[in-house]
Structure 1
Amino acid sequence: MSDASLHPPRPTVFYGWVVVFAAFLVMLTGFGAAYTFPAFFDPLSESFGATRGTVSLVFSLAGFLYFLLGAVSGPLADRLGPRPVVGFGLACVGLGLIAASFADSLAAIVVFYGIGIGLGVGFSYVPAIGTVQRWFLAKRGQASGWAVAGIGIGTMAGPPVAAWAIEHLGWRGAYVAFGIAALVLGAVATFLLRGSPDSMGLQPDGVPVPDHKGPRGGTARPEEVPGLALGAVLRHPAFWRLYGGAALACLGTFVPFVHLAPFAQDQGLSHLEGVWLVGLIGVGSTLGRFVLGGLADRLGRGRALGLIVLLTGLTLLYWLVAVGFWALAVFALAFGLFYGGFVALVPAFTTDLFGLRAASAVIGVLYTSVAFGTLLGPTLAGWAFDTTGSYIWPIVICAIGCMLAAGIIVRLPHRIYS
């Protein structure tokens, strides 16, 4: 009997990249649905006679929920595996959008869209991105960047596609169409996810399994996985410094997603031009996730993350002086580039710091800091505009928050577990 028959050839494509693609679909589905919101901003405002601050609350509450719920979905995925948790989340996205099409008040939109998107992304995002961390070590930043590129593609395509759907189907029909698409894509993504490489007889980055482990490798017990348990992480001051930095950075991160289109219309641009500007954030974001994640693997993920947050703050200050479509397009692309890098690096850097043992749970708890920034930033910016007729002070405050966050992040250690 030949050696080839004793040792069947390994797949030419490491399954970790299939997991990256599945996570990409999760991000595309959940965040693509969430970031269609700018296209619905005016139709909802006109249908229900609501102010900018009130309509902004719809998005802010959804964002608050989906980042807050990571603290629940992360530990749940560590215990049950990612597939049932992610599947439940993406079903909530699709059904929530379909239910929103029947809303007869803005309060009903808050309930259906807010709970549907909030629960849906909250139960799918952290488990999916946490799973990617388990499949990679040396290429963790690159893999994370490619996975969360789904957010960038969703941001890029979602608003203009939603604007087209609203024009042809009305906003209610558009919600139904997006809901059905979310259910289909969500089913595919859930089917492809696998919890860890050792469950398939593999190791991170596709490194061959040592012969003594046998053909299936064997699943490591939690205490054998490198890193700190969740309780130990929560007792470490480095976690709370990172938590505060993420909260400050995210105070302004989601303001452009909600208010860039209305800001552009205040300058005399059309509703469609405003929607396209939000789409350009997605273009920049996609580039940032693909390029900056891999670059940070070589430069150092902590240092790169701090620099990206600082540049985000400077870009927000540029927004104040950007006049006209092309100047705002430069802002949208630059902001998207750094936003994409931030989203790609936060889970990778967090795993570098605290290890894999409770990766999904730690990332989930960390993202509750993002929840508060998401709730406060867009809502306060909308209320400030309703009160003063200007976005100046909200943008300045958000930029300062990013600069303070950068100072906190660059002072963090690179690793705290042995």
Structure 2
Amino acid sequence: MQQQEITDGLPYSNTRSNFGSRGWGIVGFSFLMYYNFAAWTADGLNIIVQSFVDMHGWDYATLLAFSTPAGWIGVFGALLIAEVISRKGAKGVAVVGIILLGLTVMWFGHARSYTEYAIGLVLMNLLATGCCFNVPATLLNTWFPRKKGLALGWATMGMSLCTATLVPIFYFFFNRLGIPNGYAVVGGVLVLLGFITIFWIRNTPEELGLYPDNLPVSQQQLDANLAVLNNYQSPFTYKVLFKDRDMWLISVGFGLLWLVDIGVVSQLVPRLISIGYPKETAVWMFTSAALCCAIFSYVWGWIDVKIGTRKASVIYALFFAITHACLLVRGGGYFTYFTLLLVGASIAGIKELCTSMVGTVYGRYDFAAVNRLVSTIACLFRVCCFLVIAISLRYTGQYDAAYIFFIGLDIVAGILIYFITDKCKGKTEVVITGFKSNNIPI
């Protein structure tokens, strides 16, 4: 009976971060991966483009124009990397991907032509999206199938802190060492991290004699679980997924929320400047919002575990609609800071909730097979945000039209997410000596 109490008796609403020492190691590694995902696909553009303008006198607009196609190519390339994760596991992809990303960054700092710059940007987007985005999602859903929301809440703080700290870090290295050497140092750190990863992570807790969610179980259970994991072939092929209703609801619903998320965070400083704040003040306010975002990453993860991923996601969509409505108001100083608090809270939840939703619906065993397609479709929506903003600025000269459109997308996303099934449809069977349980999405 003790085994049954451990496996079946732990409630989904358990919100303690008792991941264990090795579990916290996985969370910490995922934190670094999400930091690098944000660094090389979004936040880094704040400094990367200007660094090459300073080095070579190249045209800023031309360099910036490379970012959109690089992002698209990166998304489709990441699908191939996600396929490898599904077939071979996350660890090998993490090791090779991080080392290649580091070598690319080192080479990128010495780019001498627009062509070399474009190639480097594509490679960094591909490796960061494919490795630093998909690897931690797979690891956290495998290690913490019932506490994935909480684990993701901690790990996705990496993206928020990247927003707050990346630019000062780059400026420090560039000012002390020069721009090419600055890139070389950062790339070298990534290469070192790749080699450390060989010893740092494992694909499953069972490989270390541990059990998902840091639960104590018998050696027989560990051996049985590891055997199943090593030999499991997911039935969720591309053909099956393209016909799967929940796959489309998750991909489109969260893809829309990701679109509005990036639409806000990427243009917050220009928007603050447009309503009268000096540039330095706007940057400081943006950093404050990013720090709030780090705190609320944990809050959304806690809510996820407490009330369930689908309910938390619907609340998140409606919360984002309120944030966009506040962004339409030209209020005084206090109202602006209140809006910044809402912005920080809003941009915090998307990565955690989207990843958690895939794990909730498809379970531990089938997560990687499903996430390879969900993450690709959602990211395609994500990179469309700049088109919406560009149209708003072109025809109205302001951000208001974009924010109004975003409110509509928030509501549509909330409706789509509401219709997602909240029961695991992937493999859930767990065999323990003496009995079988079919109600735990492990």
Q: TM-score range by the shorter chain?
A: 0.7 to 0.9
Whole-angstrom CA distance in 2 between matches of 1:107 and 1:276: 35
Q: May I ask how many residue pairs the two structures share in their alignment?
A: 404
The residue that corresponds to 1:150 in the other structure is: 158
2:138 is the alignment partner of 1:127 = no
Match of 1:49 among 45, 59, 84: 59
1:200-228: per-residue Cα shift (whole Å, max 9, x none)? 232211222324347x5562335986986
Q: 1:157 to 1:330 in 2, by over 3 A?
A: farther
1:31 is displaced (CA, Å) by 2.0
Native 8 Å contact 2:74 2:122 kept in 1: no
Whole-angstrom CA distance in 2 between matches of 1:162 and 1:26: 18
The within-5 A match list for 1:6-405 is 13-34=20-41, 35-40=43-48, 47-51=57-61, 57-104=65-112, 108-165=116-173, 174-189=182-197, 191-213=199-221, 219-221=226-228, 229-231=236-238, 232-267=240-275, 269-322=277-330, 330-382=338-390, 384-385=392-393, 389-405=397-413
Q: 1:70 to 1:117 in 2, by over 3 A?
A: closer
What is the RMSD computed on CA atoms of the aligned residues?
A: 3.3
Uncovered stretches (5+) of structure 1, i.e. residues with no partner: 1-11
Native 8 Å contact 1:30 1:93 kept in 2: no
The residue that corresponds to 1:8 in the other structure is: none
1:190 is displaced (CA, Å) by 5.2
Moved more, 63-72 or 393-402: 63-72
Native 8 Å contact 2:257 2:350 kept in 1: no
1:59 is displaced (CA, Å) by 4.2
Whole-angstrom CA distance in 2 between matches of 1:210 and 1:394: 55
1:275-323: per-residue Cα shift (whole Å, max 9, x none)? 4444334312211221210222111111101211222233133223356
1:155 is displaced (CA, Å) by 1.9
Q: Greater RCO between the two (CA within 8 Å, min separation 6)?
A: 1
Where 1:194 maps in the other structure, the secondary structure is: coil
1:76 is displaced (CA, Å) by 1.1
2:417 is the alignment partner of 1:413 = no
Moved more, 255-264 or 225-234: 225-234
Native 8 Å contact 2:34 2:156 kept in 1: yes
Native 8 Å contact 1:158 1:279 kept in 2: no
1:245 is displaced (CA, Å) by 1.0
1:363-392: per-residue Cα shift (whole Å, max 9, x none)? 121111222223221254246536654333
Whole-angstrom CA distance in 2 between matches of 1:164 and 1:285: 24
Q: 1:71 to 1:33 in 2, by over 3 A?
A: closer
1:97 is displaced (CA, Å) by 3.0
Whole-angstrom CA distance in 2 between matches of 1:327 and 1:387: 27
Q: 1:256 to 1:292 in 2, by over 3 A?
A: same
Moved more, 62-71 or 389-398: 62-71
Where 1:77 maps in the other structure, the secondary structure is: helix
Whole-angstrom CA distance in 1 between matches of 2:200 and 2:118: 32
1:140 is displaced (CA, Å) by 1.8
Uncovered stretches (5+) of structure 2, i.e. residues with no partner: 1-18, 429-442
Q: 1:335 to 1:180 in 2, by over 3 A?
A: farther
Q: 1:246 to 1:36 in 2, by over 3 A?
A: same
Whole-angstrom CA distance in 2 between matches of 1:307 and 1:45: 43
1:37-88: per-residue Cα shift (whole Å, max 9, x none)? 224565667843344xx66544444544444444322331132221221123
Whole-angstrom CA distance in 2 between matches of 1:330 and 1:164: 31
Moved more, 132-141 or 270-279: 270-279
1:152 is displaced (CA, Å) by 1.8
Q: 1:96 to 1:242 in 2, by over 3 A?
A: same
- 2:32 corresponds to which letter in structure 1? L
1:265 is displaced (CA, Å) by 3.8
Native 8 Å contact 1:20 1:132 kept in 2: yes
1:195 is displaced (CA, Å) by 0.3
Moved more, 335-344 or 216-225: 216-225
Q: 1:39 to 1:405 in 2, by over 3 A?
A: same
1:36 is displaced (CA, Å) by 2.7
Per the normalisation by structure 2, the TM-score is 0.79
Q: 1:329 to 1:87 in 2, by over 3 A?
A: farther
Moved more, 284-293 or 378-387: 378-387
Identity %: 19
Moved more, 84-93 or 181-190: 181-190
Native 8 Å contact 2:153 2:302 kept in 1: yes
Whole-angstrom CA distance in 1 between matches of 2:274 and 2:313: 33
Where 1:356 maps in the other structure, the secondary structure is: helix
